[in-house]
Every structure is written in structure tokens, then in C-alpha cells.
Amino acid sequence: MNVRKWGAGAPVGAGLAVVLLGGCGIQSHGGAAGHGDSIVVGMSDEVLAVDPASGYDPGSWLLFNNVFQSLLSFPRGGSTPEPEAAKSCVFESGNTVYRCTLRDGLTFSNGDSLTSEDVKYSFERAIRINDPSGPAPLLTGIGKITAPDPQTVVFKLTTPDATFPSKIASGAGSIVDHSAYPADELRKDGKAVGSGPYELKSLDKSKAVFSVNSGYRGTARAKNSGITLDFFRGDQKGLASALQKGDVDVAYRGLAAQDIEQLEESSAAADNGIHVVEGSSAEVQHLVFNVNDPVAGKLSVRKAIAYLVNRDALVSEVYHSTATPLYSIVPAGITAHNTAFFDTYGGSPQPAKAEQALRGAGITGKVKLTLWSTPSRYGPATDNELRAIAQQLNQSGLFDAKVKSLPIEQYEKRIEAGELGIYVKGWVPDYPDPDNFTQPFFGKDNVLQNGYASGDIARRIIPGTAAQADRGTTQDAFGELQDKVAEDLPILPLWQGKQYAVANDDVSGLEWTLDPSTVFRFWEISKFS
């Protein structure tokens, strides 16, 4: 199974994308590139890969988005890709040919020129290596790449795909120097050569140091003189302590939901000039049902669970309102979002309907089941969340549910083997489009690995929506897809995360990193002492 960004996405402290800063304010305009102080960012995630052909986790993509350029990028607060290394890109031949013209004067941090040869090489290399933890699945629609001249690259797609610009605007589109990266294997020296706004100066198990790339040519404008990432590896208390002591300016993806709640309600924090800034997020979490399991495979059992789960209680009691209830597979803020699960199963527990679903299927005794968790990926609050769900089910008198946890390696292996009936999965999108919340789950070779397949979804709706250049016109088709999933119940959406920045007056700009694109933009953060 490709690791993808399954909430690895979600190895945040409480399972939520949480950003805490030592300061914040509104950045009204950018200064000259590289001005301002350097900034220390403490983070719970690690950078698992430096080579873009391998990494598919939040820490690695954070590095990719700042060190490497893509042809396109997501503007702050926007979901439509705009030119970055390219000065223009256009579709031809009915969304099956995508032609990009590069900016003039692009260079890598080692001084080499960036040409269309490097772009072609980067994509072909990622596809060829096809690393199990890499982004190659996003690039499977590419049939052929040509570079007719040094400034032009042409992608010929196997099928029409209007989401292709979003895919290559993500970390999967990172451009590497063809002379600095081997064609058939990963670079193993822990170094990176990119053309993005920052250079990776050093990386070890404790930290990564970045400096501003003076040779960068693109849309970003650095408002600091460098970034250091300090790795806390899930040590929430250590990260919180470092923030309080001033050892880090930013604590990113690692503080517990209780910390956020306390800071939001703390008058002392406000008196000290610290306040909480909330941003939008498209991170989601689901219960996944193995439809081949003897228990979870019964639709009546899944329906009973859907009628009983109290999302409001989960987000308030477990996540301290740092998330919102989610009632469909496409989250709020993303085109075509609807409330299919609310419409079908209601917004509060309905034990009578749950009992009716079971009795109508001839099930008269308590249903015994196990909910599986892996806090090593989704955070320690995940166990508490599943215990709360088990309690909700058991209080109905219809279930005898319990919770078990596994380390992530065993968890994934047992899911792949079909041994887990009900398990939790989180998802951080690669790009902010409904396609990225549907195709990976219900398309060919989907990542759910739960035995569910709908030919109508995989063969008609997903290809049909992918071919529509005007994403607004996909509303009805994605609505049909969401309604079908709510009816079949292969997964049960639980919550949609929020993003936060806790800040004081000497650090600003974090409001421009807290959007559904999931791009943590180093260049937007500034600190002036």
C-alpha cells in the first residue's frame, strides 16, 4: 500500500492539523526577499524523505513545497493553481494535452539552469522509481512527456484530466536537477538541490536548517532570513515547553487539543500578547469498514453504527472543539461538498432506527465488534475517540464494542491482509479538489483496502468529473457519488480538522499558511525583533 497522505496527514498531536506560533499579526505587504529575523519552527512530524520521488508525508511535503519549485502552485487562500516555475500552462486537445512554458532565468541552488529537460526528467524519474512511499500514484495519468525546446514541456495524458494542474502543483510536481539526481534510484545523501525559495543547508535527526535561496525566480517573496525546523517526534509536552520558554517561535502540528482550548480561553495568554488564530483545513478522519468482514461486512451493522455515532460529542469532549463534525466524504470548503450522511442518518443518535436496522436483518443479540486504532500515526487522542465511539455504541444496548491499538506498521499490514473489520483513517489532501477525496478512496487500486468497489463510481462518475475543466459543473455528479457512498457505507466520516496559530506581536503572516491547500509557506512568516 502506498502510504499516501493518509492523515499522515494526521500524525499531529491530537490528530488535528495544529499550528502554534510565538507570534502573529496581519502581513499587509512583503519586504525585500530575505529580510527579517530567522525563525525556529518546532514540529511533531519528522521529514521522512528529502528526495521528492519518495516522500508522501506532511513533513516531507513541507520541505518539498519550500525547497523545490513546481510548474504551478496554490496561491495563499486559493484553490486554483497559478504559474510558478512556468510562466504559462494551457490545456489542448480536450484536456488530454497540457503544455507549459517556463519562466526565463530559472536556476537550481547549485547554479545549474532549470530547463524543460529537468521537468521531463523529474516526472519520468518519479514514475520510474515508483517508490512505495512516493507520489507516483498521482502521476499515473501521464502517458508521455516531451520537451520540444528548453522552455517548453508537453504532457500527453492517457485520459482527459482537468485536475492535472492541481496534481502537479502539489509536492508530486517537484522539479529536480537531472544532473544531481540518479534516474533509477533515490538520492541517499540527505541533501537537496531545488530551485524553490529556500535551500536546505543541513538535516539530521534533531533539526533541519533552511536559508533563503537568493537565486530563486518565482512568485514567493521571503519575509524572513531563514527557517530552522526542530523535530520533537510526537513529544507534545516537550514541544509545549519549548514554546513557553521561547526556544521555538512556532510549534507546528504537535500540540494537543486541550492546549489549544486552554490558550483560546486563557486571559493570561491574552494579557501577554498571545492569541489564537484559526484557519481552515480540509483534513478529515473516517471510520473505515471492511465490507468482507463477517461483522462489519453486514450493511445493517454499518447502518446501526451510523445511526448511533455522536459526532458533536466527539469533537467537543475528545477534540475540545478543535474540529467540526463531518457528514460527507468531501469536506466543507471544497467544491461539491454536501451533507449526505446527515441527510441519511441524522445529526444526533437515533437508537430506535439503529435497532430497526439490526432487527430487520434478523440480528437479535448484541453485536460484538472491535474498533482498531493506531495512535502512533493519528495521535494519542485517537484511542480516546474510538473509546468514546465504543461507549456510544454500547450505551444503546445493541453492541458489545471494544478498542484495540496497534503500531502503524502492524496496523497497515493487517489492513492490507483484510484482518481488521473497523479501523480509523485520516486524510490530508494532496490538492483542494473533490477528486482528491473520492478517486483515492473509490477509484482503481484505492487506498481504503476495505474490499469496497462501485463500478458506477469508478468507471463513470470519477472519470466523468475528472474531464470537466469547470470544476463548478461537477457539483451534481459529486453529489451523486457522496449520496451513493452514504447509502453503501464503506466509510463513516467523523470530523474535519481546523488549523490554528497561537501568536504574539513579533511574528506575523501565519494566516497565509492556514488554508485547505495544506502548503506551509515558509516565506509568508516574518519576525522583527
Residue 512: C-alpha distances to residues 21, 25, 58, 80 (Å): 13, 11, 18, 15
The share of the chain scoring above pLDDT 90, in percent, equals 64
Contacts of 68 (CB under 8 A, 6+ apart): 52, 171, 174, 175, 176, 192, 194, 195, 196
Q: Is the pLDDT of residue 21 over 50?
A: no
Task: Cell 532565468: give the residue.
Answer: 105
Q: Would you state the pLDDT for residue 324?
A: 93
Q: Would you state the pLDDT for residue 269?
A: 59
Q: Is the pLDDT of residue 148 over 70?
A: yes
User: Of all helices (H) and strands (E), which one includes residue 101?
Assistant: strand 97-102
Q: Could you read off the pLDDT of 459-475 as tens digits, one per residue? A: 999 999 998 988 889 99
Q: Would you state the pLDDT for residue 271?
A: 60
Distance CA 126, CA 494 (A): 34
Q: Would you state the pLDDT for residue 256?
A: 67
Q: Could you read off the pLDDT of 378-427 as tens digits, one per residue? A: 777 899 999 999 999 999 999 999 999 999 889 999 999 999 999 999 98
Distance CA 93, CA 78 (A): 27
Residue 133: C-alpha distances to residues 33, 57, 126, 236, 368 (Å): 34, 8, 11, 26, 35
* Residue 447 or residue 54, greater confidence: 54
Q: Could you read off the pLDDT of 75-99 as tens digits, one per residue? A: 988 888 999 999 999 999 888 999 9
* Residue 82 or residue 42, greater confidence: 82
CA dihedral 301, 307, 312, 316 (to 10 degrees): -30
Helix, strand, or coil here: 3? coil
Distance CA 392, CA 389 (A): 5
Q: Would you state the pLDDT for residue 270?
A: 61
Q: Which three cell numbers stand for residue 23?
A: 507570534
Q: Is the pLDDT of residue 194 over 90?
A: yes
Q: Is the pLDDT of residue 5 over 60?
A: no
Mean pLDDT of 346-369: 97
